[in-house]
Chain A
Amino acid sequence: MRGKGGWLFIFAAIGLVMAVLGLAFGSVHIPVGEVWEVFFKQVDGPYRVIVRQVRLPEVLTAAVAGAGLATAGLLMQTVFHNPLAGPGVLGISGGASVGVALAMLAQPLWAASLVPQDLLVAVAALAGAFAVLLLIMVADRRLGDGITLLILGLMVGYLCTAMVSVLQAASEAKALKGFVLWGLGSFAGMELSRLPWLALPILAGLAGALGLMKPMNALLIGDEQAGSMGVDVPRVRRRAICLTGLLAGVITAFCGPIAFLGLAVPHVARAILRTADHRVLLPATMLLGAALALLADVIVRTAGGGAALPLNAVTSLMGAPVVLWVLWSGRQWGRR
């Protein structure tokens, strides 16, 4: 544990650099010095609008969403003792997608209700995420086998995709366009006034996860063994799973089903820190998740040469090789 704390500062520094790049780069390039002035001096002009009203919300969204997804991934990997667990693989993002599809595509049905669209989408996504999580929890207890659980998660994911396709086929063009764009994933388009809807649940989720550091460490040597050390294992599992559902559900509702960040970031953090001790791994995973989400967002805005790339493609290109490397080198999970 000692000597690893320094990495937290390094990850935080990388995150800050990425955030500044996120404010500076995009379809309009703003010199870093100007970014500084926008924040600390009273200057007016187009830069001020771009930085404060367009890019700042996007950067904040990317940071909290990245930290939240990475944390959700780590919680699942520890609780299910499975290196390949993550919100995407286990079908949780898929469940949230079905919720979002119901909310967005079946809009005419809800139009009469007074509930704001945002809230409706968020609640629907949360309901979908928790429905799948409950299923996974029951299945985990019955199957007791990591590989079978992963396959079950993938099947649930396919089922969700199929349900979404059916909903898409039956919906109007206008609603469909919004939904398809949502499905590509994006940190953009969040107004500062709406940001708390996303940020507050995520911050609560992150705080809750930090409170689980000690019992999560105990889970590393097995559920039963953790129980013998005084850990109330069922309660810890329930809490971790609720936090995962909250994080994955809210983020999927606002940013779309973002692939691979939750699955890959904990592995990168583990590989750098060379420890699974959650007292450093969890904060490191949060910081690194934020930093990599910011990097992905910068790539989305700059690499396409004017046109924004789909975020999901960028995170997949970044994350999939990490997962392949984990499978290839399996040693770190004790399989020899």
Chain B
Amino acid sequence: MREGMQHILQANGLTVGRDGKALLSDVQMTFPAGSLTAMLGPNGIGKSTLLRTLAGLLQPLAGQVLVHGADVHRMPATGRARQIAVVLTGRPPGGMIDVQTLVALGRQPWTDRWGRTRREDREAVEHALVRADAIDLRHRQVATCSDGECQKVLIARALAQDTPVMLLDEPTAFLDLANRAGIVRMLRSIAHEEGKTVLFSTHDLQLAMDLCDHMVLLRRDAGVWQGTPGQAMASGELAKTLEGSGVAIDHRTGTHRFMP
């Protein structure tokens, strides 16, 4: 991690779980501004739970999450929504709604109690649609969008929320290779060019290695590890993560292959 970088999002001694049962204990993490982090780990280890707890949607069992030094779980809901935008897995549940209206919902933390949009709101929506490459979709019904288009629309909605932190739960699930690469590249440029702190969970090891600034590895026995893809490789932490999984890392090329 470069020196002097501002740490926007921070987890201190965080224990997360559901119904009082801890999944991950005493997690220590920091995420600097302008960085893209991928969170990897096996199914059921608590990626979604950790992400939702970081987002303030779930209460932690212990510890705290700080955004700009303020405790996420003690903020008023609207204040939190101005700091953290979230994109959860899956398509929106339906109803007849066009892309532009859905993206404009991201302005809710900023609009008055009737949800009236002012000029800066409309500009933010416009900017978000362009940034997420969804501007051509603006008049389409969301229900008619493909999974790849839908993901762009949901990212545009999070962008319209205009927050320093963006958290995404498996944004590359259900997408083909090109769309997966496209989405992660977009997240990378959003982080780098807009100075946002972007964290997403994924099962795409290669995309994380190639395109992300940081990785968070969640392991059942070895706990949580955070660092750059290069460090993950050099320190052997990645190999340790994949131990016994039948997947081998080639340290020369930084790629992995499945053992028969």
Contacts and interface: CB of A to CB of B under 8 A. Distances in A.
Interface in B136-161: 141-143, 157, 161
A232 B77 CA distance: 7
A220 B104 CA distance: 12
Contact of B92 (A220, A230, A277): A220
Given A218-B108, A279-B114, A227 B77 contact: yes
B114 A275 contact: no
Interface in A284-336: 331-336
A169 interface: no
B92 A332 contact: no
Given A217-B105, A221-B102, A331 B143 contact: yes
Which of A231, A277, A333: most chain B CB closer than 10 A?
Answer: A277
Interface string A242-286: 000000000000000000000000000010001111010000000
Q: Which size bracket describes the interface of A in this complex?
A: 20 to 34
Contact of A221 (B52, B82, B105): B105
A5 interface: no
A222 B57 contact: no
Nearest to A277: B101
A214 interface: yes
A81 interface: yes
A222 B81 CA distance: 15
A336 B92 CA distance: 14
Given A213-B114, A333-B143, A276 B95 contact: yes
A217 B109 CA distance: 13
Interface in B75-94: 77-82, 84-86, 88, 90-94
B105 A229 contact: yes
A217 B55 CA distance: 21
How many chain B residues sit at the interface, stated as a range, is 35 or more
A119 interface: no
A78 interface: yes
Given A1-B101, A279-B114, A229 B161 contact: yes
B113 interface: yes
A224 interface: yes
A276 B97 contact: yes
Contacts of B85: 228
B1 interface: no
Interface in A182-206: none
A225 interface: yes
B98 interface: yes
A220 B97 contact: yes
A276 B57 contact: no
B80 A220 contact: no
Contacts of A335: 94
A227 B78 CA distance: 9
Contact of B108 (A78, A214, A270, A331): A214
A229 B106 contact: yes
A230 B96 contact: no
Interface string B95-139: 111100110011011010111000000000000000000000000
Contacts of B113: 211, 214
A78 B93 CA distance: 10
B98 A218 contact: no
Given A214-B114, A229-B108, A275 B77 contact: no
B114 A274 contact: no
B108 A231 contact: yes
B57 A227 contact: yes
A228 B101 CA distance: 17
A298 B130 CA distance: 51
A18 B185 CA distance: 57
23 contacts: A78-B95, A81-B93, A81-B94, A83-B94, A213-B114, A220-B95, A222-B92, A225-B86, A229-B106, A229-B108, A229-B161, A231-B77, A274-B98, A275-B96, A275-B97, A275-B98, A277-B97, A279-B115, A334-B91, A334-B92, A334-B93, A334-B95, A334-B142
4 shortest A-B CB distances, which residue pairs? A230-B81, A334-B94, A214-B115, A334-B143
Interface of B: 52, 55-57, 77-82, 84-86, 88, 90-98, 101-102, 105-106, 108-109, 111, 113-115, 141-143, 157, 161
Given A232-B77, A334-B95, 20 more contacts: A83-B94, A211-B113, A213-B114, A214-B108, A218-B108, A220-B93, A220-B105, A221-B102, A228-B57, A228-B85, A228-B86, A229-B105, A229-B109, A231-B77, A274-B141, A277-B97, A277-B101, A279-B115, A332-B143, A334-B91
